Chains A and B, each alone.
Chain A
Amino acid sequence: MKLPYVEYEAPATVAEAVDSLAERQDEASVLAGGQSLIPLLALRLARPAVLIDINRLGELSGVSVADGWVTVGAMTREYVAEESETIAETVPLLAAALPLIGHEAIRSRGTIGGSLAHGDPAAELPAVARALDAELVVRSREGDRVIPAADWFEGYLTTARRGDEILVEVRFPKAGPGTGVAFQEVARRHGDFAVVGLAVSLTLADGAISDARLAFSGVADVPVRATYAERHLVGERPSPELFEEAARLATADIDPPADLHGSSEYRKKIAAALVRRGLRAAVNNAAGDSSRDNNAYERQ
């Protein structure tokens, strides 16, 4: 499974990268962490004429907080984000999802931006971005565009990023007081892509849910927000009956794909289970329970 012949550029600045992309856009792939792209090349499923390697762009790494937003540079390595106390405090849902991405060695190279630009609906970070209404900032010669997560994921491995654009950073809203999160997934083995995954972020105020965000991975060709379920949850006090109804609403109109790992029916069933469990875990997380049994992240 050797890679096909490909040209290679390694721009030293974002401006150079943007210029390269402008020249070669239709035949270029951007190489970030490589953990998704290189397997596609090895299998000869991707056939770019040129790779634009952006690993030299140190300016695209880093985490900063300002005005209620947490900005994560696109080239921030997943393991750096995982170890970041800032992210743990300000974007706990992201912190919850990161340990579930692949394996440690994958996270050594994989990047936050790379995962979101790749747009695999079975991956964790797209669901997180969707749940939190993250904003993705792309840059081209024409300048920057800010694309909300809701508009970013267009289809299977397809995003709103134009061929001449490079993803430079992702902005997550800073979690407010009373936030509880959970990322749960059903996977055959640790580190496998989830059969179905669920990102949950709740805000509790005076014992009631004031904000609810649920986003699935693995149920469609893009991450899916369970908006009906969210609306149903807001204003209510947590209870098993509430979670049961949320599960029903969340899965009522998803039509998951069938594959070797499960039928559509199976995926719907486990999606519902994840909603019940995820909501329970998020509520406990909001209450400050950080015991391992009520993990913010949980493999089923």
Chain B
Amino acid sequence: MAQIAAERYTGASVKRSEDPRILTGGGHYVADLKLPGMLHAAFVRSPLAHGRVLAVDVEAARALPGVVAVLTGADLAAVTIPGQDPLFAMMGGGGPQPEYSLLATDRVRFAGDPVAVVVAESRDIAEDGCELIEVDYEDLPPVMSAAFALDAGSPPIFANLGDNILGPHKRSEFGDVDGTFAAADHVHEFHIDVHRHQNVPMEGRGLVASYDADSGVLTVHAATQSVHVTRMGIAMRLGIDADKVRVLAGDIGGSFGLKIGASREELAVAAASRALGRPVKWIEDRSENLAASGQAREESFDVRAAVSKDGDLLGLDVRMVIDTGAYPVMGTMVSGIIEAMLPGPYKLAALGFESTAVATNKASYIAYRGPWASETFVRERVLDLLAKDLGLDPLELRLRNVAPRTTPPFMMITGRPLVGVTTKESLERVARMVDIPAFRRRQAEERARGRYLGIGLATFIEAAPGPRSGEAPSGPMGMEHMRLRLAEDGIVVLFTGQMPHGQSHQTTLAQIAADEFGVPFEQVRVVVGDSDVVPFGLTGGSRSATMTGGVALHGARQLKAKVLDFASLLMEASALDLDIVDGEVVVRGDPDTAIGVAEVARRAASGQFGADVDTNFEVQASFDGGEGGWSGGSHCAIVEVDVETGIVKVERYVAAEDCGALINPAVVEGQIRGGIAQGIGAVLLERSAYDLDGHVHGLPAADRL
């Protein structure tokens, strides 16, 4: 494992570079942007969950003063190319391909499905225009549950498919499933549902698309987790050469998986800008965000668990159904990751896994903060249920089943080595912090007084990016790229395709580069958010700390080597005798020789050296994750349930996480706390609910946040 050159910044809770602007109202979010001639878009949306569109009358809207254009589904179909959602396409989305238009033309498929877009001088007027549009719908019976979607008699949501199965049933087996189950002392069956909830970042979706007819360049100011994926998605669907699309992003108000690629509304706005030759802004409001941006995690599991009478979890056989909603984004692909991760850190000997993904008349299933997380929930839940059935202690049951740390490392039956996994340690740590035996005593005392306290445990591992199972890295997420440059003013500039939206990359990557290269933290600049300038990248998949931190480290090392090679000429010393310390190139042990890095850069740029001297202080670095690595940890919650009101209070929550080397402890802690808050919210407070007619329950947002 690479060791960082100096640890002046790495490992310290360096204050964030982002904060001075964040704390003074100086952040630049897409809603803040104003361009000359900019127009505003608003969408007409279906009130029905499922219906035929018989007619769309936009004349009154077009005639409203201040309305510049109205584009219907048909208008947009004429100027765009049908295709898959960009994230879906990027992840290699397969399965039955539903055919549908960008905005609804003949069919609406969920309550909130966009039908037309009004472009006007202001958002106020655009919404006024939307109210003047009359859409004639014919009600169709909605498919509001996965169970109904699985039924061959359910009305097909996509006319070109015979049914509502988007992810055909497939089954895999690892180990001897039949044998394991036949030989087990007990086989238990459970049904586990994870309810639909959603990302709800404080900032919704939005963009300003600006088409310049003279140059043919479409510039998109986006809220996105990857300027390149957004660029490619827009280019493909609008039929523009990818190099004629430029995507810029400033500050982004959270996302957690929502803002990847380009949604149908964003594509429609880009197309509108091109049609009009003017900038068009669309900022999603909270009603839209809740109803239409996408929802997450609606999965159900039928689980059979084969156990020994002493509590060895021998095998699992899992059947999963995922409700992907009306328009596929990536819901059909989550099952693959869940399958791979289900064994977790345990000694599972056999796994049978089958999955089906169905379409329903709900908003699309989208990624939300580790969309595969049901693997942990299901597995840990099953362990608790087994503990209860078998009369065993939940902590002891887990410790009994944790895989040992061996050399070579214990292999998950799904193929990944459990190298460096510290599950036992984190479980025991959390148990000590909580003092479980003392809790049990208190629990009994309180129960005698009529108070109901409970304790829950869970442990997880997360591929961040995880060790490879021997093959070369695959797919766009398998490698991380970075361009590093020493500028003439002595600033080390990192160009990364990462698109931070709360992750503090401007700070953490600078910490690493500063330490590795040898300059003060203030002398490093991290450039993000311009597809003309940054290499490919995407902030997602829980991997940027390792992958981008890694490429920053190695890239800074490569850049330093280049600079020292040149400096060796300047200083007439061997590069091996040189170092960069605190922003100065210096002969080791001889501080009087120090030359500032800026001076070195200026000399290199002066043109005084011949063509055989490399004065181009720029490197393109790539990193494949190296040995990979697991994150992991254990959590414990102590709650009190008021049995008269059903209100649950979390009395205490403890987490022990193995994060490897911490780049910035305060950032790490913030991320962990934020994730815990979302988990607590998901279980106790949040639900994206539909009634049987397909209407979204409980809008507006008061119930959700």
Contacts and interface: CB of A to CB of B under 8 A. Distances in A.
Direct contact of A and B (CB under 8 A): yes
Interface of A: 1-5, 39, 43-44, 186, 188-189, 192-193, 259-261, 266, 269-270, 273, 300
Q: Which of A1, A43, A44, A259 neighbours the largest number of chain B CB atoms within 10 Å of its CB?
A: A1
B123 A186 contact: no
A289 B686 CA distance: 37
Contacts of B689: 260
Interface residues of B, number: 22
A266 B127 CA distance: 39
A39 B701 CA distance: 11
A2 B646 contact: no
B644 A2 contact: no
A2 B122 CA distance: 10
B128 A188 contact: no
A62 B9 CA distance: 58
A288 to B, nearest CB: 26
B356 to A, nearest CB: 28
B685 A260 contact: no
B285 interface: yes
B131 A44 contact: yes
B703 A2 contact: no
B692 to A, nearest CB: 13
B127 A2 contact: yes
Given A43-B700, A260-B703, A1 B647 contact: no
B646 A266 contact: yes
A189 B704 CA distance: 11
Given A4-B131, A188-B647, 9 more contacts: A1-B127, A1-B287, A3-B124, A43-B700, A186-B647, A188-B684, A259-B698, A266-B646, A300-B642
Contacts of A43: 287, 700
28 contacts: A1-B285, A1-B287, A1-B700, A2-B127, A4-B127, A4-B128, A4-B131, A39-B700, A43-B700, A44-B127, A44-B131, A186-B647, A188-B647, A188-B684, A188-B685, A192-B702, A259-B698, A260-B698, A261-B703, A266-B646, A269-B644, A269-B645, A270-B644, A270-B645, A270-B646, A273-B644, A273-B645, A300-B645
B648 to A, nearest CB: 10
Interface string B295-323: 00000000000000000000000000000
A92 B286 CA distance: 38
A18 to B, nearest CB: 31
B673 interface: no
Contacts of A186: 645, 647
A256 to B, nearest CB: 14
A1 B698 CA distance: 16
Contact of A260 (B123, B287, B644, B697): B697
Contacts of A3: 124
Contacts of B127: 1-2, 4, 44
A4 B646 CA distance: 40
A39 B687 CA distance: 22
A5 B128 contact: yes
B38 to A, nearest CB: 16
Contacts of B697: 260
B166 to A, nearest CB: 28
Nearest to B122: A2
Contacts of B698: 259-260
B643 to A, nearest CB: 9
B286 A1 contact: yes
Contacts of B644: 269-270, 273
A239 B225 CA distance: 61
A192 B698 CA distance: 13
B533 to A, nearest CB: 35
Interface string B639-656: 000101111000000000
Nearest to A1: B285
Contacts of B700: 1, 39, 43
A189 B685 contact: yes
Nearest to A196: B645
A269 B645 CA distance: 7
Interface in B109-147: 123-124, 127-128, 131
Interface of B: 123-124, 127-128, 131, 285-287, 642, 644-647, 684-685, 687, 689, 697-698, 700, 702-703
A261 B702 CA distance: 12
Nearest to B684: A188
A186 B649 CA distance: 13
- Leading 5 A-B pairs by shortest Cβ distance: A273-B644, A260-B698, A2-B124, A1-B285, A270-B645
A259 B702 CA distance: 14
A188 B687 CA distance: 13
Contacts of B131: 4, 44
Q: Which of B127, B286, B642, B647 neighbours the largest number of chain A CB atoms within 10 Å of its CB?
A: B647
Given A44-B131, A260-B689, A300 B286 contact: no
A204 B322 CA distance: 59
A3 B647 CA distance: 36
A187 to B, nearest CB: 9
A216 to B, nearest CB: 14
Nearest to B123: A2
Contacts of B124: 2-3, 5
A269 B697 CA distance: 23
Contacts of A188: 647, 684-685
Contacts of B123: 2
A259 to B, nearest CB: 8
A161 B685 CA distance: 37
Given A39-B700, A192-B702, A300 B647 contact: yes
A43 to B, nearest CB: 6
A270 B698 CA distance: 21
Nearest to A195: B645
A183 to B, nearest CB: 15
A38 to B, nearest CB: 12
B422 to A, nearest CB: 35
Nearest to A5: B128
A255 B697 CA distance: 21
Nearest to A4: B128
Contacts of B684: 188
Nearest to A43: B700
Contacts of A270: 644-646
Contacts of A269: 644-645
Given A2-B124, A269-B644, A193 B702 contact: yes
A189 B127 CA distance: 32
A277 B644 CA distance: 11
Contacts of A2: 123-124, 127
A192 B700 CA distance: 13
A233 B558 CA distance: 83
Nearest to A3: B124
A266 B645 CA distance: 8
Contacts of B685: 188-189
Q: Which of A2, A5, A193, A266 neighbours the largest number of chain B CB atoms within 10 Å of its CB?
A: A2
A43 B642 CA distance: 35
A259 B691 CA distance: 10
Contacts of A193: 702
Nearest to A47: B131
A43 B646 CA distance: 31
Contacts of B285: 1
A1 B699 CA distance: 12
Contacts of A300: 642, 645, 647
